[in-house]
Amino acid sequence: MGGGEIRPAAALTGAVAALLSLVGPGAPPASAHGNEVPQRAAITQAPDLPGLEVEVLQSIAPVIQLTNTTQRVVTVLDDTGAPFVRVARDRAEMNRASPFAHRSLDPLGRGSGPRGAGPPEWVVVGGSGVWRWFDPRARLDPGERSRGWSIVLEVDDRRLKVEGRTEEVGLHGHLTASLSGVTPAVPDLEVRVLDGPVPALFVRYPGSSTLGFAGLSGEPFLRIGPDGVWANKRSPTWYMSGAQVIQDVPPEADPYADPAFERVSPQPVWTWLEYRARLPEPDAGYDLGDRPRVVLRWSTPGSVDDAPLAIAGEVRWEPPAPGEGRGRGPGPWWPLGAAAAGAALVVLLVRRRG
């Protein structure tokens, strides 16, 4: 078992690398390119093993998240049946001899790893029982409208199967979160909105001032500045949406208590779930209509040094394409829920491994 690190392919830009917690935030977040197929994925059947959870997260491309809290090691097999990642409750390891492992770091499934598979060469890439990857099996190629897919896991001598389905978003209506603006403009500040049932905010600020952000009750939540990221550990919002692992709010969290800031990253970049941008989950028969429209406008309050700061955005409804809709509510990925939506965008987003 090695203690080294796999370096992602050169094509892997900052947001994707940060998402997988393998490199630092040195480049702007990646975005979809010309021939990308707008798509959403959902799991249709997951293994029934207590302590093992597999989810699909929506990002630039579908992301698979595996969480293992059992005492066993879970090994994920690639499309040839060879192992490419394994997850224990206290670590994740990747097989750097696996071409598929390198492809799993790129939302387009490219990668620049070894040309042929050899004996496994395991390296530690994570210090918890959570790992996420872009799985090419869950991604639509240009021209595809939908596909079913499966991922095989090995646990002891058992083989378990995860099954899912990916569809082009035009087959259903969908909700899209976007950024309207930042007031006032702050030099060097980069803000991105990342889609999901609960949208997430990506903030990078290598400037000389200190940014502050308020929690859901108006309490001090985060500070981002030259000395990295500081979190108020008495903020309930931190545990709900900002921490590296989303968790229940502990009794000592109190939005009205004096803040207790602790540094959570030396790098001035963080991502958190923004519940102010979330719509209520739809009831049966939920109908947003057949015309595009803005269904929610939201704002994240903050400060730059002592001056007020606001990040504003909106959530927009895009109905199904004419003649292609199968209902006028959000597609089947909507019930993935807050934890699924944001975990890949929050957990380990900004840690640099050296």
| pLDDT tens digits, one per residue of 212-242 | 999 999 999 999 999 999 999 999 999 988 8
- Give the mean pLDDT of 318-324: 67
pLDDT value of position 22: 30
In a domain, 32, yes or no: yes
182 and 163 fall within a common domain? no
Q: What is the pLDDT of residues 280-311, one digit of tens each?
A: 555 434 567 778 888 889 999 999 998 999 99
Of the residues 169, 199, 218, which one is the last residue of a structural domain? 169
314 and 338 fall within a common domain? yes
Of the residues 119, 141, 169, which one is the last residue of a structural domain? 169
Give the domain extent around 322: 174-346
Torsion of CA 197, 333, 76, 349, to 10 degrees: -20
198 and 283 fall within a common domain? yes
Percent of the chain past pLDDT 90, that is, above it, reads: 41
Poorest-confidence range of 87-91, 244-248, 281-285? 281-285
Number of independent structural domains in the chain: 2
Of the residues 136, 169, 202, which one is the last residue of a structural domain? 169
Q: Which tokens in the block code for residue 199?
A: 């949208």
Q: What is the pLDDT of residues 31-76, one digit of tens each?
A: 333 345 567 788 888 888 888 989 887 666 788 989 999 999 999 9
203 and 56 fall within a common domain? no
Q: Which of 149, 136, 168 is nearest to 63 (CA)?
A: 136
Percent of the chain past pLDDT 70, that is, above it, reads: 71
b vs e for 170-204, b when ≥16 Cβ sit within 10 Å of the residue's Cβ? bbbbbbebeeeebeeebeebbbbbbbbbbbbbbbb
This prediction has a pTM of: 0.54
